[in-house]
Amino acid sequence: MADSAIPGREATSEPPPPPNATSARAQGVGTEHAARSGGNAKRRAKRILRFFSTTLVVAGSLALVWAVVVWVWEDPFTALYTHFQQQRLAADYRKTVSHARPVRRLTRPELLPATLAREADAYARTLRTGHALGLITIGRIGLKMVVVQGTDESSLEKGPGHYVASGLPGQGRMIYIAGHRTTFLAPFANINDIRVGDYVELDVPYGLFTYRVVRHYVVPATDLDVLKNAGHEVLRLQACHPRFFATHRYIVDAVPVSVTLPGGARYRFGGEGSTHVRRQQAASPSVRRQHTRRSLRAASAHAGS
């Protein structure tokens, strides 16, 4: 009876599933899950790609806006630093001028070259890198700033810098001054606007020197010949060219025209490479002092503009 059915109940046993049915269902579920996972991964990749694309577009737009701001108004952040440094340098230069005891007048004009050379040599011994050397004024580009001794990175962040191996006004050598074009108040931003015949003034404690521009040109950044002494006095201004790049140097050369001594006497030089000097009508000492004070005020105002 063990093999007989239970009385009153029909046999309801189902046939077992085919051997591969369970694995097929599991495989189907796995395939569907993999498809969903693959779709999610693609969507995540697209979102990440869209995020980075948007970020790059925004960053590029901001960089373009910043470049325009620097081109038109110069870098405002570095300008604030240079403005502060120019104010400090102007105050230091006032003290230097007030304590200076230069030759105020000459008995004969022919004594001027030797006198200026002697005064310049004495002043050179007092100069320190990063400190004020004098005042530069270029009317064409509206520049009135304190010149810093040195062309190292730190000095040029304070204003136009004087190359220490070059000469000083009155020494009969090349005077080399460099400046930034886009940052740190960009003193030489518009150096390319300077024209032949324009005047450049350098005010140092022993005299106010006026130079006339005779040429401007561009050289590769690797050209070191521009640093060599020209054999006569020439004021050489330099800035990177073109703006935002440093592949070349824009150079402006100017030759001495005249000097006004602290005592007010004004002497005119004979021309490029000439040591001939003739005296012009003397100005009063107060005129010379007023010019220096005006230049200092203008330098401070320029730094704040």
pLDDT tens digits, residue range 63-84?
554 444 444 446 789 999 999 9
pLDDT at 136: 98
Which of 162, 180, 216, 241 is catalytic? The answer is 180
Which of 131, 162, 240, 302 is catalytic? The answer is 240
pLDDT higher than 90, residue 275: no
Instruction: Confirm whether 99 is a catalytic residue.
Output: no
Instruction: Confirm whether 180 is a catalytic residue.
Output: yes
Dump strand ranges (E) for the chain.
Answer: 132-138, 143-149, 161-162, 174-178, 199-204, 207-220, 234-241, 248-260, 266-269, 277-280
Q: Looking at the whole model, is its pTM more than 0.75?
A: no
**CA-based radius of gyration for the chain:** 38
pLDDT digits (tens, 9 = 90+) for 165-176: 999 999 999 999
Question: Distance between terminal CA atoms of the chain?
Answer: 116
pLDDT at 46: 77
- What is 74-304's CATH number? 2.40.260.10
Structural domain boundaries in the chain? 18-73, 74-304
Q: Of 285 and 37, which is predicted with more confidence?
A: 37
pLDDT digits (tens, 9 = 90+) for 92-102: 999 999 999 99
How many beta carbons lie within 10 A of that of residue 86, not counting itself? 24
| Residues contacting 132, CB < 8 A, separation 6+ | 89, 90, 92, 93, 96, 146, 147, 148, 149
pLDDT higher than 90, residue 137: yes
